[in-house]
């Protein structure tokens, strides 16, 4: 039978004289080729029709949908101005600061260590058109707006999400030269920050969060929830993020003029020392950013790590509050949250350190320490000093109580502040570091205190105080018209007096 089968297969056919087995082989090969071609065509069609902008839902970080802009009645309408649907804070100091030298030259430095602002009197203001549009910037030197490109222009459209930009790990490796050591800007307990440049030329700061037992995921979510949707000129802007495998990376705008700690104690002093006006401009901007976080959005954001190294400074000496890795969200109706004590020694509010109860008044205390640090040029805690001077807050209270307030000013400030300006700053700081958190002012009140020319008290009231007490005494609660008395029970019957 096998012989018959071989005979049949070996017969010639009418197809080019080919044998039967040859024809069968050719037909089978053609069938396989057709099947493979159809599979290839289907795969190619599906790939082309796939929408690149659809990211799997499981990969998108959970972002609070409850963050929204609200109007705060306690905040003066002259301080907070709605702009393009985003509540921003109007900078009254821009007129006063224009044309002023922001830095005293250091010893032996060249004249180019001076930093000037524009000299025109017009205000500086900025507005945002969206992640893929343009930003309209009003420069002091011109009364006409000029358009500057958005930092996200030129990036692939499919990566855009609701509020920021979705970067691939490859994008950020290219931007940072494969996370080169030469690009490191700083390191902390939770990650490393690299300087980078996007494919469209925009300089950025890339924060690669360390994956320590899930801490990377936690900090990543905290920062995205805290500042992913908010916009303010004194908050460092979060441009986007990367989620790939275990990698959690945040991409911020790059602020290239150092931070307040570097200007007060570190490397930036080689360029000179900050003037009084520059310090107050940075501190006022910081106060406005905190007022926005505490009072202008819902849920409110408690930063929890306000310190000089987290206050970045741009070329025009505007403050940019950064590093929201420890931030907490405080929803409506909540007076506080209970949490593990975190922060930086010397800046942490005493009630938070003792009980773990956290609210926005903890940030107010930290801000008060920051203000004292800028006034004095001293670290919050300095063990190299005599015992009574180790703690900055305790030392300053002692100096003010001894009527030696003029001696606390940083000796590196060449042009000393006026007595009125110094008292205004000191009294504001002392109220912020009040041991009783209930007596600390709100940050919007701090903004008004720092901006008010009549603070702490008018000259006429000062004469009245002299006639009553025979000495210069400042009533830091009753005479401050910018402060809500309802925050201070018993202030009508008895006021605390601070002698300067």
Q: What is the set of active-site residues? A: 305
3-class DSSP state for residue 344?
coil
Q: Which residues of 452-474 are buried (b: 16+ CB within 10 A; e: fewer)?
A: eeebbbeeeeeeebeeeeeeebb
3-class DSSP state for residue 126?
strand
Q: What are phi and psi of 80, to 5 degrees?
A: -115, 125
Closest by Cα among 449, 451, 487 to 361:
487
Closest by Cα among 372, 375, 399 to 500:
399
Count, residues in the chain: 500
CA distance 366 to 346: 8
CA distance 179 to 96: 42
What is the number of other CB atoms lying within 10 angstroms of the CB of residue 193?
20
What letter would DSSP give residue 418?
Answer: P
3-class DSSP state for residue 497?
strand
Q: What is the 3-state secondary structure (H, E, C) of 32-47?
A: HHHHHHHHHHHHHHHH
> Are 298 and 68 spatial neighbours (Cβ–Cβ below 8 Å)?
yes
> Are 242 and 256 spatial neighbours (Cβ–Cβ below 8 Å)?
no
> Are 360 and 336 spatial neighbours (Cβ–Cβ below 8 Å)?
no
CA distance 490 to 189: 44
Q: What is the 3-state secondary structure (H, E, C) of 140-161?
A: CCCCCCEEEECCCCCCCHHHEC
> Are 485 and 387 spatial neighbours (Cβ–Cβ below 8 Å)?
no
Q: What is the 3-state secondary structure (H, E, C) of 299-327?
A: CEEECCCCCHHHEEECCCCCEEECCCCCC
208 is in an annotated binding site: yes
Bind-site residues: 208
């Amino acid at each position: 039978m096998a012989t018959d089968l071989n005979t049949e297969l070996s017969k010639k056919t009418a197809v080019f004289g080919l044998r039967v087995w040859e024809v069968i082989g050719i037909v089978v090969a053609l069938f396989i080729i057709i099947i493979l071609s159809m599979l290839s065509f289907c795969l190619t069609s599906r790939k082309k029709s796939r929408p690149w902008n659809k990211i799997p839902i499981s990969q998108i970080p959970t972002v609070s949908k409850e963050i929204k802009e609200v109007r705060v009645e306690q905040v003066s309408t002259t301080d907070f101005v709605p702009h393009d649907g985003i509540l921003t804070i109007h900078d009254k100091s821009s007129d006063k600061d224009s044309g002023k030298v922001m830095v005293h030259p250091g010893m032996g430095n060249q004249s180019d260590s001076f930093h000037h602002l524009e000299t025109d009197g017009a205000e500086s203001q900025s507005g945002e058109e969206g992640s893929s549009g343009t930003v309209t910037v009003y420069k002091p030197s011109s009364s006409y707006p000029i358009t500057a490109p958005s930092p996200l222009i030129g990036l692939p459209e499919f990566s855009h999400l609701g509020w920021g930009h979705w970067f691939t790990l490859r994008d950020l490796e290219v931007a940072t030269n494969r996370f080169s050591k030469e690009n490191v800007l700083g390191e902390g307990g939770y990650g490393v920050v690299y300087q980078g440049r996007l494919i469209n030329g925009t300089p950025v700061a890339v924060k690669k969060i360390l994956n320590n037992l899930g801490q990377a995921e936690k900090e990543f979510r905290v920062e995205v929830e805290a500042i992913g949707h908010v916009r303010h000129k004194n908050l460092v802007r979060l441009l986007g993020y990367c989620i790939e495998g275990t990698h959690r990376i945040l991409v911020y705008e790059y602020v290239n003029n150092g931070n307040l700690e570097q200007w007060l104690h570190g490397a930036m002093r080689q360029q000179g020392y900050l003037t009084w006006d520059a310090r107050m401009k940075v501190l006022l901007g910081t106060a406005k950013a905190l007022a926005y976080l505490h009072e202008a959005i819902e849920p409110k954001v408690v930063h929890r790590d306000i310190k000089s190294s987290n206050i970045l400074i741009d070329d025009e000496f505007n403050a940019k509050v950064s590093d929201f890795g420890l931030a907490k969200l405080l929803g409506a109706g909540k007076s506080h949250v209970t949490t593990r004590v975190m922060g930086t020694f010397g800046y942490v509010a005493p009630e938070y350190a003792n009980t773990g109860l956290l609210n926005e008044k903890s940030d107010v205390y930290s801000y008060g320490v920051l203000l004292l640090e800028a006034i004095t040029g001293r670290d919050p805690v300095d063990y190299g000093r005599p015992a009574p001077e180790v703690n900055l807050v305790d030392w300053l209270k002692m100096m003010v109580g001894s009527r030696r307030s003029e001696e606390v000013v940083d000796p590196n400030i060449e042009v000393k502040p006026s007595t009125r300006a110094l008292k205004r700053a000191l009294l504001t700081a002392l109220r912020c570091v009040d041991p009783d958190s209930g007596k600390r002012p709100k940050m919007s009140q701090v903004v008004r205190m720092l901006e008010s020319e009549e603070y702490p008290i008018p000259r006429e009231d000062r004469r009245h105080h002299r006639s009553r007490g025979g000495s210069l005494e400042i009533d830091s609660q009753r005479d401050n018209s910018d402060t809500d008395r309802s925050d201070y029970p018993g202030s009508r019957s008895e006021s605390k007096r601070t002698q300067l």
